[in-house]
Amino acid sequence: MINFILRGILFCAVVFAAAPAYCGQPVESVVKIFVTSNRMDFYRPWQSHGISSSSGSGAIISGNRILTNAHVVKDQTFIQVKKHGDPKKYTAHVLAIGNDCDLALLKVEHESFFDGTKALSFGGLPELQDTVTVLGYPRGGEKLSITEGVVSRIEVTTYAQSARQLLALQIDAAINPGNSGGPVLQDGKIVGIAMQALNAGQNIGYMIPVPIIEHFFADLEDGAFDGFPMVGINYMNTENGNMRDYYGIPENGGVLVTRILPYSSADGLLLEGDVILAIDGVEIGEDGTFDFRDSERLDMPHLISRKQIGEEITFSVIRNKKAQDVVIKITPFTPMVPYPEQFEKPTYYIFGGMVFTVLSTDLLQSWGKDWWQKAPVNLNYWVVGDGRQNDEKAKDLVVLLNVLSDDINVGYHGQGNVIITKVNGESFLSFEEFAKLIDRSKRSKPFTIIETISGTQYILRNDNIDAIDQAIIERNNIPAQYSADVAAWLQSAGSQ
């Protein structure tokens, strides 16, 4: 019996040596990705965190392209790839990136890299309890790792890269750092891309399923990634019988619209108090789910995210106890506090030694992985509190980050992490408007009055302030008084 087992192991080894496969797995189609990156520092927006190195995995697909995770190559300055059994590294570059869905496509500069490889094709969506195989290059070794797992859950979940709620599959195969971007296979075909793991659990990994990958490819057909759509609504379930009677909801199904976000696709079309019964003819349950397949159900947002920006979507609603259809054309939408990875470089403006920037999730992440607990409460309020409702209809929130000490700002030293709402008593809706108000003030008024959301005022004398700011940024080794986008705004306004 022991000899029989040994012969089986040796047989696999012989097959591996004779052909680029290990016990039937297409190892020649999986690559290791080496990334040099330089991430910007959103708390000190004029500088970066410095050079760092990391690695991930990828899958060779049609067109001599490599599919991987967006987070594997984010902030990259240089990329190399290496295939199984080849000691040479080849330079690659990013062909396309979709932060929403944590996917990226790479192109290798030398086509010879693909000699002896085979492009993987795509399968379908696995069933619960199906066995899948994860291939990749996790930490802990240099060789290709092959593990098996079972699909344990199919649901809409939060993608760590973007904080977007998209379809994902949970598997019990180990997904460790370095595995990211590697293919998840069933019958030799890609059924997912390894994405992230749940640190609080054991062997709880997540993969990006084929429907999300196909959406990514379809989005790129026009040469640009527009992202996954949002219509901009908040809603609640209608399980309570009294609520259903009050709104005239039929016996089964429906969710209540509680909020329409300003500037969203739904703004002016859906109304607070509408009851959504169906989306594109698919009935919505009273718990906000819909029939997916067999006895499975998925959360309603999947019906929206599977559409492309620019397409139309039909909501069947009850409004004032009367049924009607509302057709919405989906337009691009960014929440007031943008999701992670929306900025290549942070926006900032230094005035009177006071550093101003845009409130973003990238900025909040400066407080670490547990930023929602550690970042200032008054800033988190706009992301995880009622502030996210955007009652003020702001497009950006301006933050005073900190103060670079100087005679001009004595008394304000140590101030920071507060929301700015007015300049000389005038409100604004965006950082661009804020920057132009500051620039106009310093050129036409003796003082500039900057006011916080709580009414605190910072008053600066405008005499010689440009020279003062120049001295401040030189003393603090800061390359520029403001970011390139601010410079462009001021120039277009004729201020520069």
Active site residues: 71, 102, 180
CA distance 224 to 215: 13
Nearest Cα to 169, choosing from 130, 200, 202, 138?
A: 130
Contact present, 132 and 186 (Cβ < 8 Å): yes
Q: Which of 298, 29, 331 is nearest to 181 (CA)?
A: 29
Task: Provide the terminal-to-terminal Cα distance of the chain, rounded to the nearest Å.
Answer: 84
As given in the structure block, the two tokens for residue 277 are: 């019964």
Count of C-beta atoms within a 10 Å radius of residue 329: 11
